[in-house]
Amino acid sequence: MRILFDVAGLRKGGAVQGATSFIREAIQDDSGHRWCFAVSSVLRDQIDRFDVKTEDRIEVFDRAPVRCRPSRRRLRQLEAEFAPDCVLTPSGPAYVEFRAPHMLGIQLPWFTHATWSTYRMALPLYLWPRSIPLSLYRIFWFRRADAWVTQTETSRQGFSRRVGVPAEKVAVVSNTCGQAYFEHQAERPFPASTAKVRLLCFAAAYRHKRLELIPHVIARLAELRPQLDFEFVITLPAHDKTLACVMRIAERLGVAGRIHNAGLIAVADGPALYRDCDVCFLPTVLETFTATYPESMAMGLPIVTSRLGFATDVCRDAALYFQPNDAADAAAKLDQLLGDEALWKRLVVRGKTVLQSLPTPRDRYRLFVESLQNMVDGRPVYQSSAG
Q: Are 33 and 4 in contact (CB under 8 A)?
A: no
150 with 209, same domain? no
Q: Which residue range is the domain that position 188 belongs to? A: 180-357
155 with 188, same domain? no
- Spatial neighbors of 287 by CB under 8 A, at least 6 apart, are 109, 208, 310, 311
Q: Long-range contact list for 163-170, CB < 8 A, 24+ apart?
A: 163/111, 163/139, 167/382, 168/380, 168/381, 168/382, 169/380, 169/381, 169/382, 170/106, 170/381, 170/382
64 with 165, same domain? yes
User: Could you read off the pLDDT of 38-47 as tens digits, one per residue?
Assistant: 999 999 888 8
Integer Cα distance of 24 and 53 in angstroms: 10
26 with 142, same domain? yes
369 with 345, same domain? no
- Over range 380-386, report the average pLDDT: 67
CATH of the domain at 77: 3.40.50.2000
170 with 255, same domain? no
At residue 385, φ and ψ (nearest 5 deg) are: -115, 5
User: Could you read off the pLDDT of 217-267 as tens digits, one per residue?
Assistant: 999 999 999 999 999 999 999 999 999 999 999 999 999 999 999 999 988
In this structure, the chain runs to a length of: 387
Least confident of 48-52, 75-79, 264-268, 374-378: 48-52
Q: Compare 296 and 180 and report the one with higher pLDDT.
A: 296
Question: Which pLDDT score, from 0 to 100, does residue 386 have?
Answer: 42
101 with 248, same domain? no
Q: Can you state the angle between helices 14-28 and 41-49, rounded to 10 degrees?
A: 60
User: Could you read off the pLDDT of 115-132 as tens digits, one per residue?
Assistant: 888 777 777 777 777 788
Q: Is a pLDDT exceeding 70 seen at residue 384?
A: no
131 with 245, same domain? no
Q: What is the mean pLDDT of the chain?
A: 93
- Over range 135-157, report the average pLDDT: 94
**172 vs 4, 11, 300, CA distance in Å?**
20, 24, 27
Q: Long-range contact list for 254-260, CB < 8 A, 24+ apart?
A: 254/219, 255/215, 255/218, 255/219, 255/222, 256/215, 258/218, 258/222, 258/230, 258/231, 258/232, 259/214, 259/215, 259/218, 259/231, 259/232, 259/234, 260/198, 260/231, 260/232, 260/233, 260/234
Share of the chain above pLDDT 90, in %: 79
Question: Which pLDDT score, from 0 to 100, does residue 387 have?
Answer: 40
- Spatial neighbors of 170 by CB under 8 A, at least 6 apart, are 106, 147, 148, 149, 150, 156, 159, 160, 381, 382
Question: Strand 57-61 and strand 86-89: pairing?
Answer: unpaired
Question: Which pLDDT score, from 0 to 100, does residue 127 have?
Answer: 73
210 with 167, same domain? no
Q: Are 45 and 21 in contact (CB under 8 A)?
A: no
353 with 373, same domain? no
pLDDT band per the 50, 70, 90 thresholds, residue 383: low
Q: Are 51 and 271 in contact (CB under 8 A)?
A: no
pTM, two decimals, is 0.86
209 with 149, same domain? no
Q: Compare 215 and 54 and report the one with higher pLDDT.
A: 215
- Over range 323-332, report the average pLDDT: 97
Residue type at 65 in one-letter notation: P
Q: What is the CA radius of gyration of the chain?
A: 21
User: Could you read off the pLDDT of 86-116 as tens digits, one per residue?
Assistant: 999 999 999 999 999 999 999 999 899 888 8
pLDDT band per the 50, 70, 90 thresholds, residue 49: confident
Count the domains in the chain.
2
> What region, left, alpha or beta, does residue 261 occupy, with left being phi > 0 and alpha being psi -120 to 50 degrees?
beta
Question: Which pLDDT score, from 0 to 100, does residue 52 have?
Answer: 67
155 with 199, same domain? no
Q: Is a pLDDT exceeding 60 seen at residue 332?
A: yes
